[in-house]
Amino acid sequence: MGAIALNNALTQIKSSDEMRGRMVSLSSMTFGIMPLSAVPFGAVAEHIGPPYSLIIAGSVLCAFMLIFFISARDSRRSAQ
């Protein structure tokens, strides 16, 4: 709970006034979508075991982060 409170506080502090509402709604949306990953993750864990399902979930997360980092870098270049 402390990490969630800190995340919400930092999001609101670091956001500009006109973007604060959008950032809060995005943060709330991520917590609403989080349970959708539980069903597929549980099914994968049931079939191949929890350690391997954690490896797969971590790999997928790293892949998405890499894709986001590359796309954000390209958009930062075009904004300059």
Single-letter amino acid code for the residue at 45: A
The per-residue pLDDT for 76 is 64
CB 39 within 8 A of CB 59: no
- Of the candidates 27, 14, 61, the residue with the CA atom closest to the CA atom of residue 41: 61
The per-residue pLDDT for 32 is 79
CB 41 within 8 A of CB 56: no
The per-residue pLDDT for 75 is 66
CA–CA separation, 71 and 53 (whole Å): 27
The per-residue pLDDT for 49 is 94
pTM of the shown model: 0.56
What is the chain's pLDDT, residue by residue, as a tens digit (80 residues)?
788 788 888 888 888 888 888 888 888 887 778 788 888 889 999 999 999 999 999 999 999 999 988 888 766 666 55
Residue 26 in tokens: 């995005």
CA–CA separation, 47 and 13 (whole Å): 43
The per-residue pLDDT for 45 is 93
